[in-house]
């Protein structure tokens, strides 16, 4: 790996501490699992909790990811990407950054990589939270049976991987918008508007053309796509590539970069 890129990534990683993005990751990863744990403790001994115990791993995966994937995850991506990218505008340091001995390509992809790594961090913490939402109530109540089935590593990894791919177009477009506009309210406003449109279009058979729709679509049972063989994850990956390339071209050709 290029030494210049590694140094640039480290620098951008340190800058994120001056934003609320790290707190968004921590709070976002813990919120739903904590809420599920509290609900399970409240429902201890009730029929509803006994039903969950029959297929606890799948039930807790679905329970945690439904709320997370439907709204919270894209919401956090919009906010975090805009906050991280806006650091240079906020501190008026774009010109200073561009005088450093690193190429525009290095700067662009180092910032983008920080956002991707933070997304991975969010998913790792969230999966730990799901695991705790399964196990912790059993340790608190000794009469509550712990799951006998092994932890479904492959299923969880595969599901998380799909969510990761589905997040990429949101990150790519928010990154593009955040580099374009100095006022970080503008990309956030556009992102939230796109998310609302995506949620309203969940039952539209052409909804897959909206880049913000892919994480909510994971929990739509009847996806009325024009092509039943259409794979939304391919669309998400394709959008990410196209938007990242477009964002890169706009960034390197922009006359006034800060």
- pLDDT one-digit tens code per residue, 11-63: 889 888 878 888 999 999 999 999 988 888 887 766 555 555 667 888 889 88
Q: What is the pLDDT of residue 230?
A: 62
- Spell out, as residue ranges, where the chain has pLDDT lower than 50: 224, 226, 229
Q: What angle do CA 247, 256, 245 make, to 5 degrees?
A: 10
Nearest to 152 by CA among 58, 65, 60, 33: 58
Q: What is the pLDDT of residue 164?
A: 96
pLDDT tens-digit readout, 65-87? 988 888 899 999 999 999 999 88
Q: How far is CA 148 from the centre of its chain?
A: 31
pTM of the predicted model as reported, rounded to 2 decimal places: 0.90
Give the CA-trace dihedral at 71, 219, 203, 39, to 10 degrees.
-60
Structure tokens at 213: 């729709």
Q: How far apart are CA 170 and CA 78, in angstroms?
A: 7
Q: What is the pLDDT of residue 226?
A: 46
């Amino acid at each position: 790996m290029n030494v210049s890129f590694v140094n640039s990534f480290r620098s951008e990683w340190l800058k994120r501490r001056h934003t609320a993005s790290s707190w968004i990751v921590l709070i976002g990863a813990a919120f739903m699992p904590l809420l599920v744990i509290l609900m399970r403790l409240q429902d201890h001994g009730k029929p509803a909790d006994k039903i969950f115990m029959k297929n606890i791993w799948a039930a807790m995966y679905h329970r945690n990811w439904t709320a997370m994937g439907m709204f919270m995850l894209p919401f956090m991506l919009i906010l975090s990407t805009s906050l991280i990218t806006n650091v240079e505008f906020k501190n008026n340091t774009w010109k200073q950054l561009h005088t450093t001995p690193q190429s525009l390509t290095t700067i662009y992809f180092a910032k983008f990589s920080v956002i991707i790594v933070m997304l991975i961090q969010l998913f790792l913490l969230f999966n730990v939270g799901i695991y705790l939402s399964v196990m912790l109530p059993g340790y608190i109540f000794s009469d509550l049976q712990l799951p006998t089935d092994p932890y479904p590593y492959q299923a969880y990894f595969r599901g998380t991987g799909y969510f990761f791919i589905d997040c990429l177009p949101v990150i790519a477009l928010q990154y593009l918008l955040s580099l374009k506009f100095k006022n970080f309210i503008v990309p956030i406003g556009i992102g939230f508007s796109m998310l609302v449109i995506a949620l309203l279009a969940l039952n539209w058979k052409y909804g897959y053309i909206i880049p913000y729709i892919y994480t909510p679509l994971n929990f739509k049972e009847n996806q009325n796509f024009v092509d039943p063989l259409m794979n939304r994850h391919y669309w998400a990956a394709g959008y990410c590539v196209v938007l990242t390339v477009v964002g890169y071209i706009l960034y390197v050709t922009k006359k006034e970069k800060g």
